[in-house]
Amino acid sequence: MIHTFSGNPIDRADAIRRNEDDIDSLLNKSNSVFLLFKDLKVLIATSNQTTELKWLPSIQLSNIKMEANRVFLGLINEIAYFAVDILKSETIAPILDSPEICFTDCRIAAMSLPQEQTGMLAQARSQLEWHRKHQFCGICGQKTKSERGGYLRRCTSCDAASFPRTDPVVIMLVTKGEYCLLGKPVGPFSKTNLYTALAGFVDQGESIEEAVKREVMEESGVIVENVEYHSSQPWPFPYSLMIGCYAMAKTEGITIDHEELADAAWFSKTEVADALHGNKTILEIPGPIAIAHHLMKAWALQETR
């Protein structure tokens, strides 16, 4: 199953990244295109009720100041694609001379973008945020510099290399017969009736199955077994991989960890199906942008997993 933020058509062109001269050459090619970000919001263009990523040719960037965070995403049909952080919003005023062109939160943009463009957005945003957070060496504390088109940062002092990371996160729908276990996140949604699948980061030295069992136990006190993989989703906030699973509950009693969840409860297939069909009276669930939505949909509507 292809989720939002998946389906990226870009050839990441690893062989080209090994030669800095090749990257420099692509930066200056007239047909290379650039996707701009400001405060990790992405530049989009909207017209005739359609939304697209706004890719700009290099000639439009000649007077724009850029941060060091500039990433070579790869190639499509021999055209080079780059993602760039913009230093100051006022420097891009000539580009924003149309109300149809603007910087938009990536979650909001992804709800309207074509599928494959959400994948391109995920790659770009994840890598740019990683660069923002790895400006200094974790070993000696000195400044790092970008290499290999943004797929490596090297310390300018001790020469240590760091590579863009992906954080694995398990997200699981726990079921018992005709019921599933959902949790209400702590924070702004705690006073709503929004519930979602339980989730948590995979620890080092831990399998996916072990992470599912541990996270469910820690957050809800429920013991699970028979962990089954469903699908995965890149989640560029900041740079995670959501690993969607089902698990069968061995126990029903709930003991909530209130640092993790505002609430947790069992909901029937009928209640989940009603929420999927837009009835939010009892239960509200995440939208189709989230893998949690599709885990619930496949279970409640008996879709093929």
Q: Which 3-state string (H, E, C) describes the chain?
A: CCCCCCCCCCECCHHHHCCHHHHHHHHCCCCCEEEEEECCEEEEEEECCEEEECEEEHHHHCCCCEEEEEEEEEEECCEEEEEEEECCHHHHCCCCCCCCEEEECHHHHHCCCCHHHHHHHHHHHHHHHHHHHCCECCCCCCEEEEEHHHCEEEECCCCCEECCCCEEEEEEEEEECCEEEEEEECCCCCCCCECECEEEECCCCCCHHHHHHHHHHHHHCCCEEEEEEEEEEEECCCCEEEEEEEEEECCCCCCCCCCCEEEEEEEEHHHHHHHHCCCCCCCECCCCCCHHHHHHHHHHCCCCC
pLDDT recorded at residue 250 = 98
| Weakly modelled stretches of the chain, pLDDT under 50 | 90, 304-305
pLDDT at 60: 81
Domain assignment present for 113: yes
In a domain, 22, yes or no: yes
Do 60 and 184 fall into the same domain? no
Domain membership flag for residue 195: yes
Residues 124 and 218 placed together within one structural domain of the fold: no
153 part of a folded domain: no
Q: Which pLDDT does position 68 carry in this prediction? A: 57
pTM, full prediction: 0.93
Domain end point (choices 80, 108, 133): 133
Q: Are residues 91 and 22 in the same domain?
A: yes
Residue 161 maps to a domain: no
286 upstream amide cis, omega within 30 of 0: no
Answer yes or no: is 7 within a domain.
no
Residue 109, pLDDT score: 97
Q: Tell me how far apart the alpha carbons of residues 178 and 180 are, in angstroms, rounded to a whole number.
A: 7
Q: Which of 183, 197, 204 is nearest to 259 (CA)?
A: 183
Domains in the chain, number: 2
- CATH classification at residue 21: 3.90.79
121, 216: one domain: no
Give the whole-angstrom CA distance, residue 41 versus residue 56: 16
**The pLDDT value given to residue 78:** 95
Question: Do residues 193 and 294 share a domain?
Answer: yes
Q: Are 37 and 128 in contact (CB under 8 A)?
A: yes
Is 78 inside any structural domain?
A: yes
The predicted structure's pLDDT at residue 295: 98
Paired sense of beta strands 167-176 and 240-249, if any? parallel
pLDDT value at position 144? 97
Same domain, 94 and 178: no
pLDDT for the residue numbered 180: 98
Contact between 239 and 126 under an 8 Å Cβ cutoff? The reply is yes
User: 58 is in which domain, residue-wise?
Assistant: 14-133
Contact 224, 247 (CB under 8 A): yes
pLDDT reported for residue 140: 98
